[in-house]
Amino acid sequence: MDKKELLRRYAAGERNFSSIEISADDLYAIDLSGANLSGTRLEQFEISCAILIGVNLWNTYLTDSSLNSVDLSRANLRGTDLRGASLNCANLTEADLREARFGNTTFYRANLTRANLEGVDFRDTSLREANLTEANIEGANFSRVLFQNTIMPDGSIQTNS
């Protein structure tokens, strides 16, 4: 399915796009709020400036994709592969990121307020000026993470020394 067809079907009220194959690699500034894109392969996609509020991206492949300035508030990103992805200035407020896979992932100025990060392995991830206020980080692994002026759930500021 190409971007034009995806937008046409979304505008017609369709929301279930689970496991579809998208032929475009540019979903820049797209609004798919509330859509189900679970199981979709969106590797090396340009998705920046998109509005994806409450979208279901469970078990989706977003490796090496650009998700800069994307609104993913209340999104289900559980089990999503975000290795090599860029989520700079992304809004992930109340997003569920449990079981997501990271590595060389950047969260520069990302808002992760009240996000569910329980048990997430953040190794080799960059959290620069990110906001984790009230996020659930129980059991999360923060070894080998680059912190720079990151607001932690308790309000403290974390910076690597």
pLDDT at position 28 over 90: yes
pLDDT at position 161 over 70: no
Question: Please, what is the Cα angle at 44 between 39 and 46, to 5 degrees?
Answer: 100
At 13 the pLDDT is 98
Dump pLDDT digits (tens) for 80-134: 999 999 999 999 999 999 999 999 999 999 999 999 999 999 999 999 999 999 9
Nearest to 48, CA basis, from 73, 30, 23, 74: 30
pLDDT at position 47 over 90: yes
HEC per residue, 116-132: ECCCCECCCEEEECCEC
pLDDT at position 73 over 70: yes
HEC per residue, the chain: CCHHHHHHHHHCCCCECCCCCCCCCECCCCECCCCECCCCECCCCECCCCECCCCECCCCECCCCECCCCECCCCECCCCECCCCECCCCECCCCECCCCECCCEECCCCECCCCECCCCECCCEEEECCECCCCECCCCECCCCEEECEECCCCCEECCC
* pTM exceeding 0.75: yes
Domains and CATH numbers, the chain: 1-161 (2.160.20.80)
Q: How far is CA 10 from the centre of its chain?
A: 21
**C-alpha pair distances (Å), 40 with each of 20, 27, 109, 138:** 6, 13, 26, 28
Q: What is the mean pLDDT of the chain?
A: 96
